[in-house]
Amino acid sequence: MTLQDTTEQVELSGAAVIFMSVAAALGTSTLYVLQPSVAEVAGSLGSPIGDIGLALACGPIGYLLGLLVLTPLVDRFSPRRVLGAQFLALAVTLAATATVQDVPLLGLLIAITGTSSVVGSGMSSIVGRLAAPHRRGTTLGIVTSGISAGIIGGRIVGGFLADHFGWRATLLIFAAANAGLALLCVRLLTNSRAAVSGSVLATIRSIPGLFVRHPALRSAALRGALWFFAFCTIWSGLAVALAEPPFSYSPERIGFYGLAGLSGIAATQVAGRWTDRVGARKVILAGLALAVAATVIGAATLHLPAVTMVCLALFDAGLFAAQVANQSTVLAIDPSAPARLNGGYMVVYFVGGSLGTAYGPSAVAWFGWGITALTTVAAMLIAALLTILSRSRGRRNHEAGHSLSG
C-alpha cells in the first residue's frame, strides 16, 4: 500500500488515501484529547480552570510553529521520514505530559505536542501534489474527514478514557498509538519529493511572501481563521459550560457531546465532491449559513441536550464543509508544490483557532454560554462577507482584463 513514488500528479489508490485519513485523525486528535477533562486536570494540579484553558491554548500555538517549520518539509524531504518522525515526537511528548505536576510545564509540553501534530497538514499537502486535478477536492475531502474525526474523536475517546482511567493514563494510551503509527508511516508513505529549490530556511522565509503574491491565499486564510476562531470558541467554551453548575457533567459525558460532530466527517466528503462539481465559493457560503443558523439556536438551548446535539452537528457540518472547499482553492494555486501554500494558509487558520481556544473558556466564565456563542456568529458572518467580496473583486478584475485586451 505504499504511495507511488513520483513527483507527477497521479490518482492515489483508495487504500493509500484511507491510511492517510486514519493517520491524520490520530495525529490531530492529540490537540483535543484533554479538552473534556479540563476540570479534572485543574483539580489534579490544584489550578483554576482558566489557567488550564490557557495551557490547552498552547497546543494551537505550537501547531502554528509546526506549520511553518514542518509542513514545508513534506515537499522537500521524504514524507515517510518527516511524518514518521512527527508521530514519534508525539508519542514521546504525550508520555512526558502524563507526568507533569504544574501548569507551566503542561503548557510547554502541549505546545510541543501541537508542533508535531501537523501531520494532517502534511497529508493534505501530499494529496494536493499527487491527486488528479479533477479528483483533488474529493480526495482532499477523504483526508480532511480524518482530520475532522481526530478533532471530534479526540474529545470523545479522551473523555471516555479519562473518566475510566484518569487523564494521565489517557495520554499514555495515545502515546502508544502514535508510536505505532510512526512505524507504519515509515513503511507505507511515499518517498516522493517535489521539485523545490533553495534551503529549508529560505523556504520558511518565503511563506510570508506568498500572501503578497497570491490574493486568493490571503482571502482564503482570513476567512478560514474567522470560522476556526468560531469553531474553537464553541467547543472549548462548551467543555467549561458543561463542567460547571448547573450541569457539573463528568469528562465522559462532556466528551459524549463530541458525537454530534460526527456529521462533520460526512460533510467533508460531501463537500469535496460538490466542490469539484459546483465550485468552492458556493460550498463555503452554504456551510457558513448552516453554521450560523445552528449557533443562533444553540446559544439558547444548552439546557436541552437533544437540541444542543443537533445544533452542534449542523455547526460542525457547516464549518467542515467550508474548510474543505476553502483549502481546495489554496492547494490549486500551485499543485506542483502545495506544502508551502498549505502551511501558510494553516498558520493563519490556526491563529484564529488559538484565539478561540483561549477565548472560549474565559468568555463562558465572564459572559455565560449564550453570549459567548453569539459572539462567534459575527466572525462567521464576516467570513461570508469576505467570500462574497472576493467574488466581486474577481469579476471586476476579469472584466478589466477584457477591457484592456479590447
Distance, in Å, from the CA atom of 279 to the CA atom of 137, rounded to the nearest integer, reads 10
Taking alpha carbons only, the member of 317, 320, 311 closest to residue 373 is 311
Q: What is the pLDDT of residues 305-323, one digit of tens each?
A: 999 999 999 999 999 899 9
DSSP state of 31: T
What is the pLDDT, as a whole number, of residue 210? 86
Residue 6 has pLDDT above 50, yes or no: no
What is the pLDDT, as a whole number, of residue 7? 41
Cell of 16: 493509500
The CATH number that applies at residue 50 is 1.20.1250.20
**pLDDT, mean over the chain:** 84
Distance, in Å, from the CA atom of 196 to the CA atom of 143, rounded to the nearest integer, reads 24
Residue 262: inside a domain = yes
Residue 405: inside a domain = no
Pick from 71-75, 97-101, 368-372: least confident: 71-75
Question: 192 falls in which pLDDT band (50, 70, 90)?
Answer: low
Residue 382: inside a domain = yes
Residue 35: inside a domain = yes
What is the pLDDT, as a whole number, of residue 175? 96
Residue 247: inside a domain = yes
In the chain, the number of structural domains is: 1
Of the two residues 180 and 337, the one the predictor is more confident about is 180
Residue 106: inside a domain = yes
Residue 197: inside a domain = no
User: Contact 335/136 with Cβ under 8 angstroms?
Assistant: yes
Residue 403: inside a domain = no
Distance, in Å, from the CA atom of 110 to the CA atom of 208, rounded to the nearest integer, reads 26
pTM: 0.71
Q: Where is mean pLDDT largest: 34-48, 100-114, 352-366?
A: 100-114
Domain that holds residue 89: 14-192+207-395
DSSP state of 27: H
Q: Which three-class secondary structure state does DSSP give residue 47?
A: coil
